[in-house]
A and B are shown apart, each in its own frame.
Chain A
């Protein structure tokens, strides 16, 4: 199972299958509602590896994710378009599009036993723009 992540804003961040290790998609609805609630949100969690460039390769874009997580709310650049693809057996299983995504959590973890660091990025769609989310999938690459 492979994943690609694309973040479009003031700059474009591209991370591919060698970097990303997991994607979790969640629809946030109050559990205690007696009927369908209008309080609807959506969260996606992306985890991956922070790879070191060798042989003169360019550095991966994970540092840009860290910078995005630090953009203050006063700037429009804190909202970016996020596209995530889940690919297996030449099929696009899912394509999640969050046109107005903002960061709610970003974490990087480094230890002395692994050769790579890991990151975890949690983004949400702006709640008043929930209708713009697209979940597609089930077609060939």
Chain B
């Protein structure tokens, strides 16, 4: 399963299947509601590898993720458009577009036992803009 993420804002970040290892999509609804709640949110967790550039290629975009996580709330750049594609057998299984995403958690983990680092990015859609979230898929593409 190939996972791709594209973030557009003041700068663009593109990470492909060589880097991203896991995507978890979740709809956040209160578990204790007696009827359908209006309190609806959405969180997406993206996990991947921080790769070292070899053979003179450009460094990967993961350091931009770290800097995005540190953008203060006063700056409009803290909201960015995130598109996640799940591609399998020439089919786009899911295409999730989070147009006003902000970071709620970011971590990087490096150890001397592995050759690559690991990042975890947790994003949410701005809650008053939930209608703009797109949840598509089931069309062909690569």
- A residues bordering B, Cβ < 8 Å? 1-3, 17, 20-27, 29-31, 33-38, 40, 42, 86, 88-89, 91, 93-94, 130-131, 133, 135-139
**Contact of A89 with B67 in the complex, beta carbons under 8 Å:** no
Please give, as numbers and ranges, the residues of chain B lying within 8 Å of A27 by CB-CB distance.
66, 69-70, 103, 105-107
Q: Is B74 an interface residue (CB 8 A)?
A: yes
**Contact of A22 with B111 in the complex, beta carbons under 8 Å:** yes
Q: Known contacts being A93-B50, A138-B58, is A35 close to B104, with CB within 8 Å?
A: no
**Contact of A25 with B72 in the complex, beta carbons under 8 Å:** no
Measured CA separation A93–B62 after assembly (Å): 9
**Contact of A3 with B70 in the complex, beta carbons under 8 Å:** no
**Contact of B72 with A130 in the complex, beta carbons under 8 Å:** yes
Q: Is B52 an interface residue (CB 8 A)?
A: yes
Measured CA separation A34–B126 after assembly (Å): 6
Measured CA separation A8–B67 after assembly (Å): 23
**Contact of B70 with A1 in the complex, beta carbons under 8 Å:** no
Please give, as numbers and ranges, the residues of chain B lying within 8 Å of A38 by CB-CB distance.
72-74
**Contact of A89 with B52 in the complex, beta carbons under 8 Å:** yes
Please give, as numbers and ranges, the residues of chain A lying within 8 Å of B25 by CB-CB distance.
none
Please give, as numbers and ranges, the residues of chain B lying within 8 Å of A37 by CB-CB distance.
73
Measured CA separation A70–B52 after assembly (Å): 37
**Contact of A88 with B126 in the complex, beta carbons under 8 Å:** no
Measured CA separation A119–B127 after assembly (Å): 42
**Contact of A1 with B59 in the complex, beta carbons under 8 Å:** no
The chain B residue with its CB closest to the CB of A137 is B63
Q: Is B54 an interface residue (CB 8 A)?
A: yes
**Contact of A36 with B52 in the complex, beta carbons under 8 Å:** no
Please give, as numbers and ranges, the residues of chain B lying within 8 Å of A86 by CB-CB distance.
110, 117
Measured CA separation A120–B46 after assembly (Å): 27
Measured CA separation A8–B105 after assembly (Å): 28
The chain A residue with its CB closest to the CB of B53 is A91
**Contact of B127 with A23 in the complex, beta carbons under 8 Å:** no
Of the candidates B108, B117, B127, B128, the one having the most CB atoms from chain A within 10 angstroms of its own CB is: B108
* Interface residues as binary, B96-109 with A (CB distance below 8 Å gives 1, 0 otherwise): 00000011111111
